[in-house]
């Protein structure tokens, strides 16, 4: 019984560690959140961009005062940033060094004010970040009385056994609960394109903003995305990541907003095409959602989206972790 008791204690410790020590880290921010507009640069020297309009900062690893993300735990992290440039200056951004080693993406755009005056770039990267970790290893032993001891107090030993049985039953129940928490984590992910048939189709322009329904579904684990309405409904409270791509080869401007419970969050837009007949714009965001919160994409007023069999307009999202 004592061996089973110690084994259960060990399993409780491991399962509790998996539940409590699973780091929850996610942030998302925009460079400017006020009314109007603002230019950043040019500067003679490379300058840190401080994204101070924070949407989400679970784990408080991103500092909106400095623009710096500091890895709270060793792990593999996913980073994404979007750069928009409508000006007559070139633009370029690279990621900063990680522990003295440059993991970077570097991009330079030419001046924007030509026939096509809006340029958008999406950069994604996965980095392995490290942090010093100190582990305190605790061990303990239980010394059982020698049952063959001639001074054995039988009544006392029976009480010990009864206490151990009660503790054993309590541990078994705790193990069942912890196993359930580890095994029954919500699995939510979806991805769809705007059109999946042969040929092509234009969406818009309309006089009023219109919900885009991405009905060609690639993935819908958890069935949280409704392909008949274009609406994603959060099945559990948690932090979710959303990404969408908009393709524009037409003479109409294009623009798509992402809305949370019908409230604007982020947008992606592009002017009518000039010499370059095919442009792509995109955006992404991580959001903390309550159960029942809804996310959908909306075609802006008097804008158009073009789709064909190449499936270049997509809407995707997945649960990063439950809260």
**pLDDT tens digits, 229-286:** 999 999 999 999 999 999 888 788 899 999 999 999 999 998 877 656 677 889 999 9
Sign of the CA dihedral running 228, 283, 291, 16: positive
Average of per-residue pLDDT across 146-150: 43
> Does 175 lie in the same domain as 61?
no
Please state, in angstroms and rounded to a whole number, the distance separating the CA atoms of residues 276 and 249. Answer: 8
Helix 154-183 / helix 2-20 crossing angle, nearest 10 deg: 30
> Does 209 lie in the same domain as 273?
yes
> Does 163 lie in the same domain as 102?
no
**In CATH, what number is assigned to the domain containing residue 109?**
2.60.120.40
> Does 256 lie in the same domain as 178?
no
Contact between 290 and 204 under an 8 Å Cβ cutoff? The reply is: no
The per-residue pLDDT for 107 is 44
The per-residue pLDDT for 275 is 55
> Does 49 lie in the same domain as 10?
no
Average of per-residue pLDDT across 283-303: 94
Contact between 207 and 262 under an 8 Å Cβ cutoff? The reply is: no
Number of domains observed in the structure of the chain? 3
> Does 88 lie in the same domain as 6?
no
The per-residue pLDDT for 276 is 62
* 165, pLDDT greater than 60: yes
Residue 73 domain flag? yes
Domain boundary among 137, 162, 183: 183
* 18, pLDDT greater than 80: no
> Does 221 lie in the same domain as 295?
yes
Residue-wise over 47-61: b if at least 16 C-beta within 10 A, else e? Answer: eeeebbeebbbbeeb
The per-residue pLDDT for 41 is 83
Residue 203 domain flag? yes
Residue 148 DSSP symbol: T
Question: Rounded to a whole number, what is the distance in angstroms from the first to the last CA of the chain?
Answer: 37
pLDDT band at 181 (very low <50, low <70, confident <90, very high): low
* 142, pLDDT greater than 70: no
Residue 134 domain flag? no
> Does 153 lie in the same domain as 72?
no
What kind and span of H or E run contains 95? Answer: none
Task: Tell me the average pLDDT of the chain.
Answer: 77
Residue 140 domain flag? no
Please tell me the least confidently modeled range out of 78-82, 152-156, 221-225, 271-275.
152-156
* 158, pLDDT greater than 60: yes
Any residues with CB less than 8 A from the CB of 212 and at least 6 apart, and which?
A: 194, 203, 230, 256, 296, 297, 298, 299, 305, 315
Please tell me the least confidently modeled range out of 49-63, 96-110, 134-148, 255-269.
134-148
* 190, pLDDT greater than 90: yes
Residue 142 domain flag? no
The per-residue pLDDT for 138 is 27
**Token match 């996610």: residue?**
26
> Does 198 lie in the same domain as 290?
yes
Average of per-residue pLDDT across 303-321: 89
The per-residue pLDDT for 92 is 65
> Does 304 lie in the same domain as 220?
yes
Greatest distance between any 2 Cα atoms in the chain: 100
Average of per-residue pLDDT across 155-172: 73
Q: Which of 32-41, 141-150, 155-164, 257-266 tops mean pLDDT?
A: 257-266
Residue 295 domain flag? yes
Range of the domain at 271: 189-322
> Does 14 lie in the same domain as 151?
yes
Kindly list the distances between the CA atom of residue 54 and the CA atoms of 37, 63, 104, 121, 303, in Å, as whole numbers in the listed order.
17, 10, 23, 20, 28
pLDDT band at 3 (very low <50, low <70, confident <90, very high): confident
Residue 296 domain flag? yes
> Does 195 lie in the same domain as 292?
yes
**Percent share of the chain, pLDDT over 70:** 70
pLDDT band at 20 (very low <50, low <70, confident <90, very high): low
Residue 141 domain flag? no
């Amino acid at each position: 019984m004592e061996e089973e008791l110690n084994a259960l204690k060990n399993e409780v410790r491991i399962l509790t560690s998996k539940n409590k020590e699973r780091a929850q880290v996610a942030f998302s921010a925009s460079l400017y959140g006020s009314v109007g507009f603002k230019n950043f640069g040019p500067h003679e020297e490379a300058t840190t961009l401080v994204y101070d309009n924070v949407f989400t900062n679970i784990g408080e690893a991103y500092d909106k005062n400095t623009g710096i993300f500091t890895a709270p735990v060793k792990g593999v992290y996913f980073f994404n940033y979007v750069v928009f440039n409508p000006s007559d200056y070139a633009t370029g951004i690279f990621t900063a060094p990680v522990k003295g080693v440059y993991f970077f993406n570097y991009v330079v755009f030419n001046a924007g004010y030509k026939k096509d005056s809006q340029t958008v770039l999406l950069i994604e990267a996965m980095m392995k970040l490290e942090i010093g970790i100190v582990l305190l290893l605790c061990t303990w032993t239980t010394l059982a009385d020698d049952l063959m001891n001639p001074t054995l107090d039988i009544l006392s030993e029976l009480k010990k056994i009864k206490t151990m049985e009660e503790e054993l039953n309590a541990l078994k129940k705790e193990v069942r609960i912890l196993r359930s928490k580890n095994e029954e984590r919500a699995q939510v992910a979806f991805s769809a394109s705007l059109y999946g048939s042969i040929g092509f189709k234009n969406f818009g322009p309309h006089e009023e903003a219109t919900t885009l329904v991405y009905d060609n579904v690639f993935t819908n684990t958890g069935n949280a995305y409704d392909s008949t309405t274009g609406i994603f409904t959060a099945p559990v409270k948690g932090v979710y990541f959303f990404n969408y791509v908009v393709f524009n080869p037409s003479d109409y401007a294009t623009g798509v907003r992402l809305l949370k419970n019908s409230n604007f969050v982020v947008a992606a837009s592009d002017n009518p095409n000039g010499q370059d007949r095919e442009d792509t714009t995109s955006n992404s965001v991580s959001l903390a959602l309550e159960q029942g919160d809804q996310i959908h994409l909306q075609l802006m007023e008097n804008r158009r989206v073009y789709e064909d069999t190449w499936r270049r307009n997509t809407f995707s999202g997945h649960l990063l972790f439950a809260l």
